[in-house]
C-alpha cells in the first residue's frame, strides 16, 4: 500500500520556497513540485559537485533560482520576500559526515546558524503558512540498539554532523515555541529521513555515488563499513512525506500530534547492510562491476541505525511506496541513462510520474 496521494489540487499554483534546490534532494524536490503544478523558487549555493543533478536534469527550468548562502541574512530574506511563498521547505545544509569531521565549525555554522536564519526570514515573510525543516535520522543519540528510533527518543551526536543536526532540532523547537505556536502564525515542523538513494547524486563518501564513479571508470568500489546497517529509501519517498506534512500543516494543523516532528523511513526489512546494497548494485550495473572492503582505519560511524515511521503513517497517511529493489532499479537505470547521453530532465520527470501514479 502506497502513501496517501499528494494533492494536485493543493499544490497547483501554490507558491513554494525551497532552500538547497541545487543539491541532490533539493533538485528532486523541485522536479516533484513542478509535476504537481507548484510555483517554486529556490535558494542555495552553487551545485556541490561536478557532475550534478541540477545541471544534468536542468532543474533551473522548474522554477526561480537564486544562488546564495543561507547564513547571508539580507540576501536570504530578500529572496524569500520576493517569492511570497505559502510554504517554505528548508533542505539547505552541509549534509556529509566526513567533511563535517574535517571542518566542524563550518558544518555547525551552516546547519545550526543557517537554520536560525531561515526561520528568522520566515518570521519576516507574512505570506508563509507553513515551514518544514529537514534534518536527519542521525539526530538521535545512537546507542546501537536493535529497534528503530522514534521521534521521542533522545537527541545526540557522537560526531559533528549528527550533533549539528541534533542542534538544528533544538533550534526548530525553540522557534516553534517562541514564534510559531499561536493562531495566525506559520506552522513549523521538522522531518527526519533515512539514507536516500536515486539518480543524480555525485557527493563524495556516499555509497551509491562512490559506486557509480567506480563502475563508470571500471574501477573497484572500496567500501569502509560493509556490515553497517542503514534505512535505505528512494529520494522520492521522504520528499513525498515532506510535501504531505506541508499539506496537513496548512489544512489540518490541529489534527497533528505534538511535537510536529516526523520520521520518514523505509519498511523495516529495507534497512539492510552496506554489503547487501553493494552486492545489489554491482549485479544491476554488470559490466564487470566489483567491490572490495577498505580495511584502513576509519573514523567513527554508527553501525546500526533505523527509524520508526509509525507517527507519519498514523497522522499523515504516509507509507513507503517503492520497496528497496525497485528503488535500486530506478537509481541504476537513471545513472545508466546519464552515461548513455539520454535527456535526464525527461527521465527524471518520467520516474516521478511513475512514482506519483503508483
What is the average per-residue pLDDT within 157-179? 96
Of 37-41, 76-80, 228-232, 304-308, the range with the lowest mean pLDDT is 304-308
Nearest-angstrom CA–CA distance, 21 and 341? 23
Nearest-angstrom CA–CA distance, 226 and 270? 16
Band of the pLDDT at 166, cuts 50, 70, 90?
very high
Give the mean pLDDT of the chain.
Answer: 94
- Structural domain includes residue 8: no
Band of the pLDDT at 2, cuts 50, 70, 90?
very low
In 3D space, the residue among 75, 5, 2, 88 whose CA is nearest the CA of residue 41 turns out to be 88
What string of DSSP letters covers 266-295? --GGGEEEHHHHHHHHHHHH-TT--EEE--
pLDDT for 299 equals: 60
The set of cell numbers assigned to 177 is 515555541
Tell whether the model's pLDDT for residue 256 goes beyond 80.
Answer: yes
What are the pLDDT digits (tens) for 137-157? 999 998 877 788 999 999 998
Contact 90, 71 (CB under 8 A): no
Tell whether the model's pLDDT for residue 127 goes beyond 80.
Answer: yes
- Structural domain includes residue 121: yes
Task: Please give the residue range of the domain that contains residue 177.
Answer: 13-296+305-353
Q: What percent of the chain has pLDDT over 90?
A: 84
What is the CATH classification number for the domain harbouring 18?
A: 3.40.50.720
In 3D space, the residue among 231, 262, 234, 230 whose CA is nearest the CA of residue 321 turns out to be 234
Band of the pLDDT at 205, cuts 50, 70, 90?
confident
- Structural domain includes residue 204: yes
272 - beta bridge partners?
Answer: 230
Band of the pLDDT at 339, cuts 50, 70, 90?
very high
- Structural domain includes residue 242: yes
Contact 54, 60 (CB under 8 A): yes
- Structural domain includes residue 162: yes
Tell whether the model's pLDDT for residue 297 goes beyond 70.
Answer: no
User: What is the distance, to the nearest Å, from the Cα of residue 161 to the centroid of all Cα atoms in its chain?
Assistant: 15
Total tally of structural domains belonging to the chain: 1
Backbone phi, psi, residue 261, to 5°: -130, 130
- Structural domain includes residue 6: no
- Listed in sequence order, the DSSP H helices in the chain are 8-11, 24-36, 53-56, 73-83, 97-102, 104-108, 114-123, 160-179, 207-216, 236-251, 274-285, 310-316, 324-339, 344-356
Highest mean pLDDT of the ranges 95-99, 222-226, 318-322, 338-342: 338-342
pLDDT for 1 equals: 39
What is the average per-residue pLDDT within 95-103? 89
Q: What is the pTM of this model?
A: 0.95
- Structural domain includes residue 31: yes
- Structural domain includes residue 18: yes
Amino acid at each position: 500500500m502506497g502513501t496517501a496521494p499528494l494533492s494536485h489540487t493543493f499544490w497547483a499554483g501554490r507558491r513554494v520556497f525551497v532552500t538547497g534546490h541545487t543539491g541532490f534532494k533539493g533538485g528532486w524536490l523541485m522536479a516533484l513540485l513542478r509535476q504537481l503544478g507548484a510555483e517554486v523558487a529556490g535558494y542555495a549555493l552553487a551545485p556541490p559537485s561536478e557532475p550534478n543533478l541540477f545541471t544534468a536534469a536542468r532543474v533551473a527550468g522548474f522554477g526561480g533560482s537564486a544562488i546564495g548562502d543561507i547564513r547571508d541574512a539580507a540576501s536570504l530574506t530578500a529572496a524569500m520576500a520576493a517569492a511570497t511563498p505559502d510554504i517554505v521547505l528548508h533542505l539547505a545544509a552541509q549534509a556529509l559526515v566526513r567533511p563535517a569531521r574535517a571542518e566542524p565549525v563550518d558544518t555547525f555554522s551552516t546547519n545550526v546558524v543557517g537554520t536560525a536564519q531561515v526561520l528568522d526570514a520566515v518570521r519576516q515573510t507574512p505570506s508563509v503558512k507553513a515551514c518544514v525543516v529537514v534534518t536527519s535520522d542521525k539526530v538521535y543519540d545512537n546507542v546501537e540498539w536493535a529497534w528503530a528510533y522514534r521521534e521521542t527518543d533522545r537527541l545526540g551526536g557522537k560526531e559533528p554532523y549528527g550533533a549539528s543536526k541534533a542542534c538544528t532540532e533544538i533550534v526548530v523547537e525553540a522557534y516553534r515555541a517562541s514564534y510559531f505556536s499561536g493562531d495566525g502564525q506559520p506552522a513549523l515542523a521538522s522531518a527526519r529521513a533515512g539514507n536516500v538513494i536515486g539518480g543524480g547524486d555525485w557527493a563524495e563518501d556516499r555509497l551509491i555515488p562512490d559506486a557509480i564513479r567506480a563502475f563508470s571508470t571500471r574501477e573497484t568500489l572500496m567500501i569502509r563499513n560493509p556490515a553497517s546497517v542503514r534505512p535505505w529509501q528512494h529520494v522520492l519517498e521522504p520528499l513525498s512525506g515532506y510535501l504531505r506534512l506541508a499539506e496537513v500543516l496548512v489544512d489540518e494543523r490541529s489534527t497533528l500530534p505534538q511535537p510536529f516532528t516526523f520520521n520518514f523511513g523505509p519498511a523495516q526489512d529495507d534497512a539492510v547492510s552496506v554489503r547487501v546494497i553493494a552486492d545489489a548494485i554491482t549485479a544491476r550495473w554488470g559490466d564487470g562491476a566489483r567491490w572490495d572492503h577498505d580495511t584502513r582505519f576509519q573514523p567513527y560511524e554508527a553501525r546500526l541505525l533505523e527509524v520508526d515511521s509509525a507517527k507519519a503513517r498514523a497522522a499523515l497517511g504516509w507509507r513507503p511506496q517503492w520497496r528497496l529493489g525497485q528503488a535500486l532499479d530506478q537509481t541504476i537505470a537513471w545513472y545508466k541513462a546519464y552515461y548513455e547521453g539520454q535527456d535526464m530532465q525527461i527521465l527524471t520527470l518520467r520516474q516521478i510520474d511513475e512514482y506519483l501514479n503508483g
